[in-house]
Structure 1
Amino acid sequence: MNTTAWRGSALLVLAGLGMASAQAQDQGNCPQMPATSGLTWEYRSSGDSDFCRALRADGSEAFGLYIARKSPFEPKRGNRAEAGVIDGQQMYWYKGELATRPNLEVRETLMELADGRVAHIWLQAEPQQLGATISEAQSIRFPSTRLSSK
């Protein structure tokens, strides 16, 4: 299944279940961002799953993440793009695509957390904004009890 379509479905399910209302001021279980980022979190939860969107001042999404026991995203080595580091953990960004916007750069990654869950992180950016958007996403910090030492 296209992960973008899946994320849209997840949003609809979360909204339909009457989960915590999205509040940019409520960080919920979202990771920490630098205070200077200019980004705020939109947070929703369902059981042991958390959905977080990092929003710019204009309301556009910088990046998003879904934390749960399992993720539908399965990284494929052939789609590896940029190497990076999130909260001290080495990782890779994987290329994705959005059928309705073929010129948009799509990246995704998967991080293991210490509590046994995984964080699926994604972003969509214009080609000239890709580096800056990746830097924003890589600036997040998970609480020390959440990030796996693997």
Structure 2
Amino acid sequence: MVNRIRATTGLALLAFVGIAQAQTAGNCPALPADAGLTWETKTAGNTQFCRALRADGSEAFGLYIAAQTAFKPVRSMRSEEVRIDGHETYWYRSEIAGQPDLQARETAIALPDGRVAYLWIQAKSKDDLASAMQQTSALRFGTGAQLSSN
């Protein structure tokens, strides 16, 4: 019984160390210092998942960085024009099944190393949406990031 507890505890610590290393490895963009957010990160193959969490554990926004994304912007769904990492782009409206009141947005950014960052926001109110957009506008992916042509 004690050995089983030690093994389980050891596995949990290894999982925690893996998450901590991913957060400190610079795989997610720099968060705004005054945002009060922290990254929750996971890696699957060559894909890095990053969720910006508020102090209460709720998601402010999320993103993943991968070789490619399935996101295909549709011009008629363009919504807000914004600057992310100093470059102009658009957020695109999206819908979440069964949640018609949710304010959902998505966009993609081409990174200097050839990968793509796909970002999403799912906000319960227009104020939460505006706050998340302001926070994502302050993200820094690295020197010379170029946005995809949206």
Q: Say whether the fold is shared (TM-score over 0.5).
A: yes
Matches within 5 A, 1:1-150: 21-23=18-20, 26-28=23-25, 29-128=27-126, 129-144=128-143, 147-148=145-146
- Stretches of structure 2 that go unaligned for 5 or more consecutive residues are 1-14
| Closer, same or farther: CA 125–27 of 1 in aligned 2, 3 Å | farther
Instruction: Give the TM-score taking structure 2 as reference length.
Output: 0.79
- How far did residue 23 of structure 1 move? 4.6
Q: How far apart in 1 are the matches of 2:62 and 2:107?
A: 11
Larger helix fraction of residues: 2
Q: What is the alpha-carbon root mean square deviation over aligned residues?
A: 2.2
- How far did residue 47 of structure 1 move? 3.1
How many residues are aligned here?
131
List structure 1 segments (4+ residues) > 6 angstroms apart after TM superposition.
none
- Identity level (%): 45
- Contact kept? 1:115, 1:148, Cα under 8 Å: no
- Contact kept? 1:55, 1:63, Cα under 8 Å: yes
| Amino acid corresponding to residue 141 of structure 1 in structure 2 | R
| Closer, same or farther: CA 144–118 of 1 in aligned 2, 3 Å | same
- Stretches of structure 1 that go unaligned for 5 or more consecutive residues are 1-17
| Closer, same or farther: CA 83–24 of 1 in aligned 2, 3 Å | farther
Q: Match for residue 8 of structure 2?
A: none
Instruction: Give the TM-score taking structure 1 as reference length.
Output: 0.79
